[in-house]
């Protein structure tokens, strides 16, 4: 059994003294700096569904002779419940990785994660030709490796596995380009996360060339080196299944004329923190979720009738956008803008609108403003920010007070509207009383008749 564990988890070996810790409630096992002496403690990781190896250097084991497995070992590997393996802070010789990966075909590991690892050298991947692995999700974060260009042969050896991969993340790893050929290998990929890299506008186009990532639904390009909205649109145009695109934390600029069509399937679009001072056009027409928070927008005038969630917090909006046509809207975030009054009569008409966050605005607490907010809060629509996040900036007598504390009774709010009917009522009452008196005691008004 030890041999099999060693083979399967061979990457955890290291010279520094270390051991494994198993958390039963989380089914999570972490091994730090495993050595040959402490290797036995891997045994306690066997019931875990997530196993994590942290620290160590594997170069010494690059020449480790790893050969075929006997049937009892294969049976044992098959019975393991491990679903996810994380390798962190490790130096990984690629040649060792190529040898060990083969044995994953006998396991049920679905997810493989490499964090802060350095891949060294080039592996011999030829033995992987035609091999299927159960791994569906592959994550690399902050890794260093030989460049991907010029490795078509390695990729084609791995292709029968990579063709079935569903999720790939390569984040924080200084990626500057994705050759066209790579995308064509990942035929079943649903989600690609290349956040926190250095992809620029020109390098994006080849990455999503004809035939690349044909099933891609989710793409994160968060925090890269993208500037042209138009060129991003052109680059992803061929991703027909794309539903979710994250461009947040790039520095996007408006292009003078942009006639590009976004993929029709696009539903979720993240333009948060992209330095926008105006809404870029065109927006994908079928959007359901639009995040344009953390920009410098002064006004928003969009018409996207299928919109369900609109995030506009931390902008410079002086008025809420007109939302009466967004009949599907269920979430509206307008916090930390310069809005003085919410269109609360529009808000109340939207049947699905349940989550409104509009804290941190300089509210005008004249009657209608304060009452609208209080009514929304009363209906349970204002989330956690209520009441402490909602303060009045005007009129002067309420400045600095919480909107919640502004008195909005009918009498105080609209004296003209109250006083006029009251006067009329009183007048009518008075007249009625007079007539009654005349009728019942006619003698009172009858001129005195002297007898
Ligand atoms: C296991 O994880 C849970 C949840 O994070 C934590 O509360 C608990 O203290 C951990 N148990 C051990 C033994 O570390
Ligand atoms: C990234 O990985 C390197 C080792 O390759 C490590 O020294 C560094 O601390 C890691 N950075 C972060 C932010 O985790
Ligand atoms: C980002 O793009 C700009 C202009 O396109 C370029 O000058 C710069 O070198 C790029 N930075 C990186 C890290 O690729
Ligand atoms: C958009 O991206 C930011 C990070 O840049 C994230 O905090 C936010 O939750 C994302 N918005 C949506 C709607 O997923
Ligand atoms: C506040 O609202 C009232 C009533 O709508 C209006 O008369 C007043 O000018 C507004 N004050 C400010 C500072 O916007």
The DSSP secondary structure of 342-361, one letter per residue, reads --HHHHHH-TT--EEE--S-
pLDDT computed for residue 142 by the predictor: 95
Cα of 223 vs centre of ligand 3, distance in Å, is 13
pLDDT computed for residue 410 by the predictor: 60
Q: Which ligand number lies closest to the CA of residue 339?
A: 5
Q: Is residue 106 part of a domain?
A: yes
Cα of 227 vs centre of ligand 3, distance in Å, is 10
Q: Is residue 15 part of a domain?
A: yes
Q: Is residue 355 part of a domain?
A: no
Count CB-CB contacts under 10 A for residue 226. 23
pLDDT computed for residue 37 by the predictor: 66
Pocket test for ligand 4, best of 245, 246, 289, 309 (most atoms within 8 A of CB): 246
Pocket test for ligand 5, best of 393, 395, 408 (most atoms within 8 A of CB): 395
Q: Which ligand number lies closest to the CA of residue 269?
A: 4
Q: From atom 2 of ligand 2, which residue's Cα is the shortest distance away?
A: 116
Q: How far apart are CA 307 and CA 320, in angstroms?
A: 15
Task: Please tell me the pTM assigned to this model.
Answer: 0.85
Q: From atom 3 of ligand 2, which residue's Cα is the shortest distance away?
A: 116
pLDDT computed for residue 430 by the predictor: 53
Domain, as residue range, for 23? 1-165
Q: Residue 356's closest CA among 313, 391, 405, 394?
A: 313
Q: Is residue 379 part of a domain?
A: no
Q: Is residue 12 part of a domain?
A: yes
Pocket test for ligand 4, best of 291, 309, 314, 357 (most atoms within 8 A of CB): 291
Residues 6 or more apart whose CB falls under 8 angstroms from that of 86 comprise 50, 51, 52, 53, 113, 114, 115
Can you list the pairs that 45-49 forms with residues at least 24 positions away whose Cβ atoms lie under 8 Å? 45/9, 45/20, 45/82, 46/5, 46/80, 46/81, 46/82, 47/22, 47/81, 48/22, 48/81, 48/82, 49/81, 49/82, 49/83, 49/84
Q: Which ligand number lies closest to the CA of residue 396?
A: 5
Q: Is residue 363 part of a domain?
A: no
pLDDT computed for residue 349 by the predictor: 81
Structure tokens, 388? 């402490």
Do residues 392 and 364 lie in contact, with contact meaning Cβ atoms separated by under 8 Å?
yes
Cα of 50 vs centre of ligand 4, distance in Å, is 27
Q: Is residue 419 part of a domain?
A: no
Q: Is residue 414 part of a domain?
A: no
Consecutive 10-residue averages of pLDDT for the chain (451 residues) = 45 53 92 73 87 80 67 83 92 82 86 92 82 91 79 81 94 92 93 97 93 97 96 95 98 82 97 95 94 97 93 96 90 96 82 91 89 88 90 92 85 52 51 50 40 34
The response to whether residue 364 sits with its C-beta less than 6 Å from ligand 5 reads yes
CATH of the domain at 126: 3.80.10.10
Pocket test for ligand 5, best of 342, 364, 369, 396 (most atoms within 8 A of CB): 364
Q: Which ligand number lies closest to the CA of residue 247?
A: 4
CA distances from 225 to 202, 249, 261, 293 (A): 10, 9, 22, 19
Quote the number of domains for the chain. 1
pLDDT computed for residue 7 by the predictor: 45
């Amino acid at each position: 059994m030890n041999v099999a564990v060693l083979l399967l988890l061979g990457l955890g070996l290291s010279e520094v003294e270390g051991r494994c810790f198993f958390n039963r409630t989380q089914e999570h096992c972490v091994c730090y700096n495993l050595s040959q002496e402490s290797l036995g403690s891997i045994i306690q990781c066997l019931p875990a569904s997530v196993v994590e190896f942290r620290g160590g250097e594997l170069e010494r084991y690059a020449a480790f002779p790893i050969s075929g497995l006997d049937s009892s070992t294969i049976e044992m590997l098959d019975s393991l419940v491990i679903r996810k393996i994380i390798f962190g802070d490790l130096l990984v010789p690629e040649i060792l990785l190529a040898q060990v990966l083969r044995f994953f075909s006998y396991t049920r590991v679905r997810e493989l994660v490499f964090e802060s690892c350095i891949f060294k050298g080039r592996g011999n991947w030829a033995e992987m030709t035609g091999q299927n692995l159960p791994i569906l999700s592959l994550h690399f974060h902050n890794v260093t490796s030989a460049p991907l260009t010029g490795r078509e042969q390695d990729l084609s050896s791995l292709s029968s596995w990579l063709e079935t991969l569903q999720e790939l993340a390569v984040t924080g790893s200084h990626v500057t380009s994705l050759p066209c050929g790579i995308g064509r290998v990942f035929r079943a990929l649903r989600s690609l996360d290349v956040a926190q890299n250095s992809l620029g506008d020109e390098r994006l186009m080849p990455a999503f060339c004809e035939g690349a990532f044909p099933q891609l639904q989710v793409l994160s390009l968060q925090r890269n080196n993208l500037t042209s909205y138009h060129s991003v649109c052109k680059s992803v145009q061929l991703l027909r299944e794309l539903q979710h695109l994250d461009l947040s934390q790039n520095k996007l600029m408006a292009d003078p004329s942009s006639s590009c069509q976004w993929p029709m399937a696009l539903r979720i679009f993240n333009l948060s923190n992209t330095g926008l001072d105006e809404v870029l056009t065109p927006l994908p027409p079928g959007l359901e979720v639009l995040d344009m928070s953390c920009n410098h927008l002064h006004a928003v005038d969009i018409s996207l009738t299928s919109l369900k969630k609109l995030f506009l917090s931390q902008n410079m909006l002086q008025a809420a956008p007109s939302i009466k046509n967004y009949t599907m809207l269920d979430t509206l975030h307008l916090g930390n803008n310069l809005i003085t009054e919410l269109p609360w009569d529009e808000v109340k008409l939207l049947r699905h609108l349940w989550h409104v966050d509009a804290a941190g605005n300089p509210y005008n607490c004249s009657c209608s403003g304060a009452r609208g907010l209080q009514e929304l809060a009363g209906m349970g629509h204002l989330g956690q920010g209520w009441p402490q996040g909602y303060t009045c900036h005007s009129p002067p007598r309420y400045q600095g007070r919480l909107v919640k504390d502004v008195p909005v009774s009918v009498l105080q709010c609209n004296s003209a509207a109250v006083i006029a009917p009251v006067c009329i009522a009183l007048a009518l009452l008075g007249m009625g009383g007079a007539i009654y008196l005349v009728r019942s005691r006619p003698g009172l008004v009858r001129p005195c008749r002297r007898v």
